């Protein structure tokens, strides 16, 4: 029983890391925008701009910064199962423009459909909202991702699985239909609980960070194992953002945990058999 409880600790650590970083970022955004009254168009443009800038800047930092440093790559590598190296899609002007149009439309849909609320800069309130947000987002992603691996839905998801080896930017390599589905699943918690602009700006930066890291085959700050690498390698199991829901619903392919100080709970659960 104790071993089973300990096995959930790395996922809980992930939830709390996301929550804490989001809460701290929200305080910064609240300092600048808490008392401002932006119209909907300005909010949409700001949300799209922050999302796009964080996606590309963090992705290039990982790919052209960390991965160019051999010592860092060796230290931070999460992948255990070796796969054949692959060439990844190159950036083209058409591809970037299409991606930005999709991101802008997603921002428009989210902020138009969801009710706006003002939660202020209360640390306790924002901490609770972000903790709820990451747990709900993980559950929604788990359900939609598992459905996308069913035979009847699989064609939608195959573009994302062109790669067994991985790169940060594979996070955004998906079909238009899958992009719509993942956007809709991301909307659900916001539709239920509403959005505060400072909260969703924080959320999109941190969401980009752990999504890019999760597809980089590196274990930098949020990702404590080769959990998602195994999903790309085996094409089944490990459907969540991290392994909480996979453990709960028995779809886990046991990951190899990174035993480094940045992931303290891995030491507590390192003897877990999975």
What are the tens digits of pLDDT across the range 91-142?
Answer: 778 888 888 888 888 888 888 888 888 877 888 989 999 999 999 999 999 9
- C-alpha 52/C-alpha 58 separation (Å) is 10
Whole-number pLDDT of residue 95: 80
Q: Which residues of 9-25 are buried (b: 16+ CB within 10 A; e: fewer)?
A: bbbebbbebbbebbbeb
Quick check: 225 pLDDT over 50? yes
Chain centroid offset of residue 253 CA: 19
Interval 3-21: pLDDT, tens = 777 888 999 999 999 999 9
Structural domain containing residue 146: 2-33+44-268
DSSP state of 225: B
Whole-number pLDDT of residue 214: 93
Q: Would 273 be classed as within a structural domain?
A: no
Torsions phi, psi for 45 (to 5 deg)? -65, -40
Q: Would 260 be classed as within a structural domain?
A: yes
Q: Would 69 be classed as within a structural domain?
A: yes
Quick check: 158 pLDDT over 90? no
- C-alpha 40/C-alpha 198 separation (Å) is 14
Percentage of the chain surpassing pLDDT 90? 50
Q: Would 205 be classed as within a structural domain?
A: yes
- C-alpha 14/C-alpha 20 separation (Å) is 10
Q: Would 263 be classed as within a structural domain?
A: yes
- C-alpha 258/C-alpha 266 separation (Å) is 7
Tokens, residue 51: 């999302």
Contacts of 71 (CB under 8 A, 6+ apart): none
Asked if 225 contacts 78 with a C-beta cutoff of 8 angstroms, the reply is: yes
Whole-number pLDDT of residue 193: 76
What confidence category does residue 34 fall into, taking pLDDT thresholds of 50, 70 and 90? low
Whole-number pLDDT of residue 138: 94
What confidence category does residue 178 fall into, taking pLDDT thresholds of 50, 70 and 90? confident
Asked if 220 contacts 78 with a C-beta cutoff of 8 angstroms, the reply is: no
Helix, strand or coil, per DSSP, at residue 195: strand
Helix, strand or coil, per DSSP, at residue 218: strand
Asked if 215 contacts 167 with a C-beta cutoff of 8 angstroms, the reply is: yes
Chain centroid offset of residue 116 CA: 23
What confidence category does residue 67 fall into, taking pLDDT thresholds of 50, 70 and 90? very high
- What mean pLDDT value characterizes the chain? 87
Q: Would 39 be classed as within a structural domain?
A: no
> How far is the first Cα of the chain from the last one, in angstroms, to the nearest whole number?
13
Handedness of CA 38, 43, 49, 51 (dihedral sign): positive
* Bridge partners, residue 116, by sequence: 195
Domain total of the chain: 1
Q: Would 180 be classed as within a structural domain?
A: yes
Q: Would 274 be classed as within a structural domain?
A: no
Helix, strand or coil, per DSSP, at residue 220: coil
Quick check: 273 pLDDT over 60? no
């Amino acid at each position: 029983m104790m071993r089973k409880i300990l096995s959930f600790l790395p996922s809980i650590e992930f939830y709390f890391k996301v929550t804490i970083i989001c809460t701290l970022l929200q305080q910064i955004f609240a300092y600048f925008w808490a008392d401002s009254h932006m119209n909907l168009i300005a909010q949409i443009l700001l949300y799209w701009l922050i999302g796009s800038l964080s996606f590309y800047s963090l992705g290039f930092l990982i790919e052209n910064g960390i991965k160019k440093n051999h010592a860092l790559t060796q230290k931070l590598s999460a992948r255990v199962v070796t796969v054949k190296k692959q060439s990844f899609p190159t950036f083209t002007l058409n591809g970037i423009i299409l991606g930005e149009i999709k991101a802008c439309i997603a921002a428009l849909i989210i902020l138009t459909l969801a009710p706006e609320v003002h939660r202020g800069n209360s640390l306790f309130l924002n901490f609770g909202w972000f903790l709820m947000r990451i747990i709900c987002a993980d559950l929604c992603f788990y359900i939609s991702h598992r459905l996308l691996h069913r035979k009847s839905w699989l064609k939608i998801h195959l573009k994302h699985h062109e790669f067994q080896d991985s790169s940060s930017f594979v996070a955004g390599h998906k079909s238009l239909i899958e992009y719509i589905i993942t956007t809709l699943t991301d909307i659900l918690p916001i539709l239920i609980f509403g959005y505060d602009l400072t909260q969703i700006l924080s959320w999109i930066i941190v969401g980009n960070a752990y999504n890019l890291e999760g597809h980089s085959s590196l274990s930098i700050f949020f990702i404590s194992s080769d959990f998602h690498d195994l999903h790309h390698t085996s094409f089944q199991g490990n459907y969540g953002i991290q392994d909480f829901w996979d453990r709960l619903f028995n779809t886990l392919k046991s990951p190899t945990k990174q035993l480094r100080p940045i992931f303290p709970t891995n030491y507590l659960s390192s003897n877990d058999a999975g």
